[in-house]
Amino acid sequence: MFKNLPSILYKYRDWGNNYHKKIIIENQIFLSSQDGFNDPFDATIPFRYDESQLTPENIFKKLYESGKEFMPHLTDAELIDECYKQQHSGIFENGTYWKNYYNEYVENVNKNFGILSLTTKNDNLLMWSHYANCHRGFCIGFNSIKLFNLILGSLGPVVYSDEMPNVPLFDKSGIEGITRLLNTKSLDWAYEEEYRIIKSFAANMAFTFEDETIVENVVLGLKMPDKCKEEVISLLRSKFPQTKIYEATKDLERFKLNIIPIL
């Protein structure tokens, strides 16, 4: 899990938003449900199996495997009969099996999975614009491993693709397929270089961290008002004395931000 993991992962925030301030004032990290995202496809990719795996034999095996888990009240003979009926219902052959359960599936994702979106970059022009109030906010950097140890979910990079993925028909862990769906986004979002921590049964849940634990550095936005800068710096120096403080400045030779330390 930690192979090639960046040592610091970043979160862009808006100091003008009282909810966003909690990450510094109250030491709170929030795992959002899917319905709070700005990408309508994010974490709502349909739960579909690879069509090449949907042979009659595999379909029956999968139905029987699922039936053992979800219909334990049936006798083995009753379960086999039920599997036979579903196998020959035609929904797998015509590819509509997942559509009947799509809305329920999305509802379950919203209810059960908490997602913390992070990034490898603290100088991304678009992310400063989209997530930090047009450069008026701040970007907070966390120690990646300590952050994971606080939340204890699955941690990994988002995969960007121009095609929606399918899930394995026989997923021994029960997690591989859903993680793939929750961790795949359109190529349009590749500029974000996102990493995610995903935790089951943690939708819209806040996690509190100790002052000295995981905040490595904070970058103040290019357009953050001086009064706000003073507030943030004062808080950081009192709560996180080991944290490095930077500010974003405009490079006058290239279309980029320079991240410089505040002495």
Annotate the chain with DSSP letters as a single string.
--TT--SEEEEEE-TT-HHHHHHHHS-EEEEB-GGG-S-TTTT-----B-GGG--HHHHHHHHHHHHHHH-TTS-HHHHHHHHHHHHTSSTTTTT-TTGGGHHHHHHHHHHHEEEEEEES-S--HHHHHHHTTTTTSEEEEEEHHHHHHHH-SEEEEPEEESSPPPB-SS-SSSSHHHHHHHTEEEGGGGGG-EEEEEEET-TTEEEE--TTTSEEEEEE-TT--HHHHHHHHHHHHHH-TT-EEEEEEE-SSSSSEEEEE--
pLDDT in tens, 135-149: 999 999 999 999 999
pLDDT in tens, 21-76: 999 999 999 999 999 899 999 999 988 777 777 777 777 777 777 677 667 888 88
Distance (Å, whole) CA 197 – CA 158? 10
From residue 99, give the alpha-carbon distance in Å to each of 39, 170, 230, 233: 21, 20, 53, 51
pLDDT in tens, 75-123: 888 888 887 887 777 767 666 777 777 888 899 899 999 999 999 999 9
Is the pLDDT score of 133 beyond 90?
A: yes
pLDDT number for residue 222 = 98
- Delimit the domains of the chain by residue range: 8-36+114-261, 51-97
pLDDT number for residue 249 = 98
pLDDT number for residue 105 = 85
